[in-house]
Structure 1
Amino acid sequence: MAGTIGTLSGLALGPAPARAGVPTPRTQGWQAVPAPGSTPAAQLRRVAAAGPRLAWAVGEEGRAGPSQGRGLAMLWNGGAWTRTDLSHLSHTRLTDVAGPCSTAAWSVGQPTGTGSPLLRWDGTTWREAAFPGAGEPGVRLNAVAVGADRQVWICGSRGGGAGLLHGDGGGELWRWLDPLPVARANLYRAMVRPSGEVWVGGDQSNGGGWSGLVARWDGAWTVLPPIAGLRLGIADLHAAGPDDVWAVGTEAGIGGPPGRPGNPVLSHWDGTAWTRVEAGFTVGSLSGIAGDAQGRAAWISGWNYQDQTRSTYLRRDGDTWTVVRGPAAAAPAPYLNDVTSVPGTTGFWSVGMTSPTPAPPTEAYTERLEA
């Protein structure tokens, strides 16, 4: 399904030259920040920041040949990224991270054995946390979000149905909420609004493929109309309110050769209907979206297949989105998986990998837009 489409990081795609006659995109302030210590092939999938001196980034490393690699987790201390030790754990492919403070962060990952792990950062190291369904076959934890009240929200699946796992701020009390009332659905991203509403995004089967899925939990489920497309999946979303929701992802289209790149998807919900918005490039993907200090969608991370010489972003300019490029020569062909804001500042982090193919010599990669 579209979980492998939301980012095209599993596809062996080579660079394509920039097209003649295409206007040069604007540039603004993004700088590469060294992320040392990853063993190729490596990538960072998601990033979360608690402030200018504290951030976490997770992914995987050591993917070579048939190896599925092992988990990779990094910590930002205000001056540099450092690895955090995962040698006491055996989990691969950490897929998301969220954290409000130095002594509490959460991460989820791909299954090892029978089910997905839930990890908690205690200020010193990552430890596995217990939750209902831990170790059950078919339990998947795909994404995690933490609200201002430190309540934890994890989207995934249990018993064949997609839904939310909710935890109190202390991480002691967990319960699965009523399943999403959509058959054959997958959830890949979650966010919490200041009001406490939880928004989730993913995909749902439409018979011949899949469509984009966005839903809201506020004590009960509200499922928005599908985002129509040809094998379209949502990689991330940002809700400024029930009538101002942005969703980003990739539309795979119909067929094509192995490794065929898809098309970026940018859609807006105004409370009544979805409107597709031009992304500024036509082949590639949109992978993450972050809000500003006022809660409005502000930056989108992406990948432009037709010009891979720099990282690609979309920046909100009033009611329009403008293509912005990252630093030159920072990586051979950087691929971004995520972007997030830095609380208390006007800065942002983005993470990904040094090329669009998770095979050696690809390494973990980060960029920063300082306040």
Structure 2
Amino acid sequence: MRRRRFVAGTVGTLGGLTLGSSPAPARSPSPPSSPVPVRARRAAVVPPRAEGWQAVPAPGSTPAAQLRRIAVAGPRLAWAVGEENLSGPDGQRGLAMLWNGTAWTKTDLSPLTLRRLWDVAGVGWTSAWCVGEPTGNGSPLLRWDGTTWREAVFPGRGEPDVRFTSVAVGPDRQVWACGTRGGALRLLNRTGRRWRWLDPLPVGSANLYRVVARRPGEVWVSGEQSNGGGWSGLVARWDGAWTVLPAIAGLRLGIADVHAAGPDDVWAVGTEAGAGGPPGRPGNPALAHWDGNAWTRLEAGFTLGSLSGIAGDARGRAAWISGWDFRDQSSSTYLRRDGDAWIVVRGPAGAVTAPYLNDVAHVPGTTGFWSVGMTSASPYPPTEAHTERLLR
């Protein structure tokens, strides 16, 4: 089963908010798990307010362009990836940016034939990795060598059915890439210099969008799984074996990102496309919390749009969520954790007319954060890559 990722006429990370089609989902003999009812809870809603976010120029991309994901190693080192030239006559191509503590610069990817870069992760100058969509067969796995991105050698490299969608690097520098191989959802792990493919995820007809490293030997993945007539949210943990959490019930729900502070404190964000609607209709933001027993769905503070990324603070608690509010595009949209509630927060006013955020990340060793996306929700020029920074 292959899910289209064009809905609503906008672009982004998930649920019809992406240019082009999604990677082919795995086909496992195991039936998809049945969604279980979730407990609904109303989130505290207060008037949106600014919190000190500042737009930071990310020059050099060819419109239309967007940044999908960001990885931050510290105040002076970060990477952001996506795609550019979306409507150009010679086709779209991958986009990679580097933050050196002072400015964003575009990284040369000309030796590589990539249509887009899906995700990036890194903890040091030679411990950064990214995955993308090639122009031919077989997804590449790229490593940052301190100067540029180069293809890495791994088991399965060049195989036509290998497709990576996300990558994570833990504090122990283990590498985790998620995607498909041999028609099954899989994780590829690198410990030291040894690569190995882990057991398939025991869920059929599903897609993975994100892998997140929590601690050594433990990672979480998120995405979507078929429920027979639509899609439900998928969240699972690998810690030597797979633990698949109950599906998050929804009509056409995909989980773009997940943050686990512990096995009984897991947050999931994404977009629910719903039962359909007129052309151009956006989806609905989806926010859910797992307490170790059940999922609780919370209202996001706005009803039309999306939630795309979630980041923890220095203590590891979920702290910020990036999003897009269809009804208020005067500035970027975030949710900030305030005790047990999430509060709608706006980005810098007037910097960009209708910014669309795809991801948010914590700056290690500080109380700051970065976010990335694009200057509008339209996949046509003059849309450009966009970044914002929170210094606290």
Is residue 2:182 matched to residue 1:159? Answer: yes
Is residue 2:305 matched to residue 1:284? Answer: yes
CA contact (8 A) 2:371 2:387 kept: yes
CA contact (8 A) 1:46 1:59 kept: yes
CA contact (8 A) 1:7 1:287 kept: no
Q: Give the one of 5, 24, 29 matched to 2:52.
A: 29
Change (3 A) 1:195 1:126: closer
TM-fit CA distance, 1:259:
2.6
CA contact (8 A) 1:10 1:357 kept: no
Is the partner of 2:58 in helix, strand or coil?
A: coil
TM-score, normalised via structure 1 length: 0.94
CA contact (8 A) 1:8 1:356 kept: no
- Select between 23-32 and 357-366 the one with higher mean Cα deviation: 23-32
d(CA) in 1 for partners of 2:172 and 2:53?
Answer: 31
- Select between 241-250 and 172-181 the one with higher mean Cα deviation: 172-181
The residue number in structure 1 matching 2:173 is 150
The residue number in structure 2 matching 1:48 is 71
CA contact (8 A) 2:217 2:240 kept: no
Is residue 2:251 matched to residue 1:230? Answer: yes
Structure 2: stretches of 5+ with no match in the other structure:
8-13, 20-44
d(CA) in 2 for partners of 1:310 and 1:89?
Answer: 35
Q: Which amino acid aligns with 1:44?
A: L
Q: Which amino acid aligns with 2:303?
A: T
Structure 1: stretches of 5+ with no match in the other structure:
12-21
d(CA) in 1 for partners of 2:216 and 2:156?
Answer: 28
TM-fit CA distance, 1:66:
6.7
The residue number in structure 2 matching 1:110 is 133
TM-fit CA distance, 1:328:
0.7
The residue number in structure 2 matching 1:139 is 162
TM-fit CA distance, 1:37:
0.4
The residue number in structure 2 matching 1:62 is 85
Change (3 A) 1:250 1:33: same
Is residue 2:203 matched to residue 1:182? Answer: yes
TM-fit CA distance, 1:3:
5.6
Q: Which amino acid aligns with 1:177?
A: L
Change (3 A) 1:288 1:282: same
Q: Which amino acid aligns with 1:63?
A: L
Q: Which amino acid aligns with 2:236?
A: A
CA contact (8 A) 1:31 1:326 kept: yes
d(CA) in 2 for partners of 1:89 and 1:303?
Answer: 32
Is residue 2:102 matched to residue 1:86? Answer: no
Change (3 A) 1:235 1:4: farther
CA contact (8 A) 1:161 1:184 kept: no
Change (3 A) 1:8 1:68: farther
Change (3 A) 1:206 1:227: same
CA contact (8 A) 1:9 1:357 kept: no
What's the C-alpha RMSD, in Å, of the aligned pairs? Answer: 1.6
CA contact (8 A) 1:2 1:203 kept: no
Percent of aligned positions that are identical: 75
d(CA) in 1 for partners of 2:137 and 2:60?
Answer: 29
Is residue 2:95 matched to residue 1:95? Answer: no
Is the partner of 2:254 in helix, strand or coil?
A: strand
CA contact (8 A) 2:15 2:272 kept: no
d(CA) in 2 for partners of 1:303 and 1:60?
Answer: 19
What are the within-5 Å matches in structure 2 for residues 1-371 of structure 1?
Answer: 1=3, 6=14, 8-10=16-18, 24-64=47-87, 68-169=91-192, 172-371=193-392
CA contact (8 A) 1:7 1:250 kept: yes
d(CA) in 1 for partners of 2:123 and 2:15?
Answer: 26
Q: How many residues are paired up?
A: 359
TM-fit CA distance, 1:23:
6.7
